[in-house]
């Protein structure tokens, strides 16, 4: 599978970019609501952490630029019915920590835990190595605060698991 941002030889030679646009939606926006977006950019200007950008004319979040405060300013200024204003701002994703995590590879690091406002990432002690990260999906808001500080880029967003947890 091609990496995000790469282009196939055929697409390069024909001048087309056949890759689908991948975007992280602001809190309270669903794919069907995105159709109402006119691309005015009001949400971009209203975001206090400047993590919203227009990608192909629609809003997308960049957690490498910062975190979402879940303040709702983007929804407040939006003139179209893009945001679900009936519920508090929330994401349909949480974060996931991959095997590229430094702690999982023998290097002591807790930068994600230190950056997590809801304290959804804890570190479990283990014998013979650094503490290992454990994510509490129920506590994770999906704000992305842990993504940029990760020196190994081992944290990414993933859809919320709808399966019940096994005891």
Q: Report whether 109 belongs to an annotated binding site.
A: no
Q: Report whether 116 belongs to an annotated binding site.
A: no
Q: Report whether 68 belongs to an annotated binding site.
A: yes
Q: Report whether 143 belongs to an annotated binding site.
A: yes
- Distance, in Å, from the CA atom of 77 to the CA atom of 98, rounded to the nearest integer, reads 36
Q: Report whether 101 belongs to an annotated binding site.
A: no
**Tokens linked to 92:** 């349909």
Q: Report whether 146 belongs to an annotated binding site.
A: yes
Q: Report whether 112 belongs to an annotated binding site.
A: no
The answer for residues whose C-beta is within 8 angstroms of residue 74's C-beta and 6 or more apart is 26, 27, 42, 43, 46, 47, 52, 59, 83
Q: Return binding residues for [4Fe-4S] cluster.
A: 37, 40, 43, 47, 68, 71, 74, 78, 140, 143, 146, 150
Q: Return binding residues.
A: 37, 40, 43, 47, 68, 71, 74, 78, 140, 143, 146, 150
């Amino acid at each position: 599978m091609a990496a995000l941002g790469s282009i196939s030889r055929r697409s390069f030679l024909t001048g087309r970019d056949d890759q689908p646009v991948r975007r992280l939606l602001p809190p309270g926006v669903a794919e069907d609501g995105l159709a109402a977006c006119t691309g005015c950019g009001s949400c971009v200007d209203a975001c206090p952490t400047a993590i919203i950008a227009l990608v192909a004319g629609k809003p997308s979040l960049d957690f490498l630029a910062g975190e979402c405060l879940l303040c709702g300013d983007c929804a407040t200024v939006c003139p179209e019915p893009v945001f679900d204003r009936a519920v508090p701002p929330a994401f349909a994703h949480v974060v996931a920590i991959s095997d590229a995590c430094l702690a999982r590879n023998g290097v002591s690091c807790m930068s994600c835990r230190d950056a997590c406002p809801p304290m959804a990432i804890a570190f479990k002690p283990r014998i013979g190595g650094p503490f290992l990260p454990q994510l509490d999906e129920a506590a994770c808001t999906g704000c992305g605060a842990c993504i940029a500080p990760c020196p190994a880029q081992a944290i990414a967003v993933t859809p919320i698991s709808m399966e019940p947890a096994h005891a």
